[in-house]
Amino acid sequence: MAHFYLAPAGSRVIAGETIVLTGDEARHAAKAARLRVGERILIGDGRGSIAQAEASHVDASEVHLVVVSVSHTEVDVPGVWLIQSLAKSGRDEQAIEAATEVGVSGVIPLLAERCVSRWKGDKVDSGVARWQRIVTEASKQAIQAHTPQVSPLVSTSELAKDASSWQLIVLDHRAQMRLADVELESGVDALPVALVVGPEGGFSDAEREMLHTAGATLAKMGPGVLRTSSAGPIAIALIHQRLGHW
């Protein structure tokens, strides 16, 4: 029952329905997981529904699953997003993977002034697509009912212009306020919380001022300095607890 698969888009995850896995999902179930007819696995739609399903046909090209029972998990309110700066050596990818495991609502890639890794031209679309694959696989590994979506790349100035859409918190070890002391709105009418993680060189003074002027709260997490790969996931876990999601 540990194996978890995503149903194809448009599939109805309803008791009694048959869902057909193809492509990589079918190959993994048949070859790697060695699924057999009559065995049960978990399957989700990425939108809150997770079902127990029984295999009625298995081969490397198609796996047929009959839905036996379904549970549904509502989205976190308010949502908790990660706005993650691009980073070298795959540390940005480590960050979004771990953030997905702890339950991020969505991810936005950020191109800050001091980012060493930069997406340009065709790399913008391919980078977003790669991040989407990473968070999708991480959500399956963690058996998350909701699959986070990766939004288009933004610059710091674009983020500042959209600051009023969020409860925007910039993680900054130079800040005076602690993350634990930041006032958070909760309830169905609350704006989503967005945690902003800068590059390993940190935000420039101009960027910090720009975001602060736009209404963002600058907050530190502790006395030390966390890497860009770990700051976001740890902050997300803390925010989930404060909002009562955990």
In the predicted structure, residue 105 carries a pLDDT above the cut 90: yes
Of 56, 3, 50, residue with least CA distance to 29: 3
Together in a domain, 154 and 220: yes
pLDDT digits (tens, 9 = 90+) for 32-49: 999 999 999 999 999 999
Beta bridge partners of 109: 84
Q: State CA 96 to chain mean position distance.
A: 6
Range of the domain at 183: 80-242
Together in a domain, 45 and 158: no
Query: CATH number for the domain including 103?
Result: 3.40.1280.10
Together in a domain, 103 and 193: yes
Together in a domain, 68 and 84: no
Cα–Cα distances (Å) from 1 to 41, 74, 137, 160, in that order, read 5, 22, 17, 44
pLDDT of residue 2: 61
Beta bridge partners of 44: 6, 50
Together in a domain, 27 and 149: no
Last residue of a domain, one of 72, 97, 112: 72
What's the sign of the alpha-carbon dihedral 152, 156, 162, 167? positive
Of 196, 215, 175, residue with least CA distance to 111: 196
In the predicted structure, residue 194 carries a pLDDT above the cut 70: yes
| Tokens describing residue 90 | 């795959």
Instruction: Give the integer Cα–Cα distance in Å for 194 and 216.
Output: 10
For residue 35, the tally of other CB atoms under 10 A from its CB is 21
In the predicted structure, residue 215 carries a pLDDT above the cut 50: yes
Cβ atoms 45, 205 nearer than 8 A: no
Last residue of a domain, one of 72, 107, 130: 72
**Residue 126: partners with Cβ closer than 8 Å, 6 or more residues away:** none
| Tokens describing residue 184 | 């958070």
Cβ atoms 95, 78 nearer than 8 A: no
| Tokens describing residue 145 | 């009912």
pLDDT of residue 177: 95
**Residue 171: partners with Cβ closer than 8 Å, 6 or more residues away:** 179, 195, 196, 197, 198, 219, 220, 221, 226, 231, 232, 235
Task: Kindly indicate the confidence band of residue 1, based on its pLDDT and cuts at 50, 70 and 90.
Answer: very low
In the predicted structure, residue 144 carries a pLDDT above the cut 90: yes
Together in a domain, 62 and 154: no
Together in a domain, 56 and 104: no
Cβ atoms 27, 11 nearer than 8 A: no
- Three-class SS state of 217: strand
Query: CATH number for the domain including 26?
Result: 2.40.240.20
The share of the chain scoring above pLDDT 90, in percent, equals 94
Please, what is the average pLDDT of the chain?
A: 95
Last residue of a domain, one of 39, 72, 105: 72
Together in a domain, 134 and 115: yes
Together in a domain, 152 and 34: no
If one counts the domains in the chain, the total is: 2
Together in a domain, 204 and 128: yes
Together in a domain, 31 and 95: no
Together in a domain, 62 and 84: no
Of 232, 239, 203, residue with least CA distance to 94: 232
